[in-house]
Amino acid sequence: MLGGNAPFEWLCLPTKGSAGGILVGAIEFFNVCIGDVLWYSVSVFLTEKKTGFSWKLVEVYGSPYEKGKQEFLDELDLVLSKWNGPLLVGGDYNLVRFNHEKSNNRINHVWSDGFNDLIDRWSLIYLEASNGCFTWTNNQENLIKARLDRILVSPSWDAVFPLAKVRLLDRLPSDHNPLLLDVGVNMFFGKKKFRFEKWWLE
């Protein structure tokens, strides 16, 4: 959700049994145009009224079940193919990319390889949280932690918000840590300047 204590436009994708469910909202500083409400994702186009900058926000809730993971990846691939402008994709993917993203190092490489292939194919950039690695825990005596939630952005979105950073919030009482994205105070629309540091020669 974008905003604070202010009126906002919103739409939702209902839960499927005990899993899923997405709520997307934006405060009055944005014009909101609904894109797609699909099985695992909700897409909206946001235009900041002050600057006119437009980008696509995609909220996801990946299948927690094996049988739905390929459908989720296929849907995400379809959503990404419909837009080549600035893009942010965030939410609970229910997928890990590497062994170190799960505390017991046991992952299904079929799904991690498929997830990494999709990220590479669309040149997505992972905005890593500055204060932690794992975003989910099973809350069991045999404790398992994993990075299931993340924010991915396109290079064109990253170029406009070069100071963007992510922080994990407290997860209680949930089993997930909410992700707080701070895009920074500066939006950059020009050409990036190349700066050479003298210490590179050392």
Q: What is the pLDDT of residues 53-87, one digit of tens each?
A: 999 999 999 999 999 999 999 999 999 999 999 99
Q: What is the pLDDT of residue 1?
A: 47
As a whole number of angstroms, the distance between CA 63 and CA 61 comes to 7
Instruction: Delimit the domains of the chain by residue range.
Output: 8-201
Check residues 183 and 98 and name the one with the higher pLDDT. 98
The fold adopted by the segment(s) 8-201 is Deoxyribonuclease I; Chain A (3.60.10)
> Nearest 5 degrees, angle CA 179-CA 163-CA 186?
120
Nearest to 46 by CA among 35, 32, 62: 32
Residue 135 has φ and ψ, to the nearest 5°, of: -115, 0
Measure the CA–CA gap between 76 and 56, rounded to whole angstroms. Answer: 13
Mean pLDDT of the chain: 88
- Give pTM, 2 decimals: 0.85
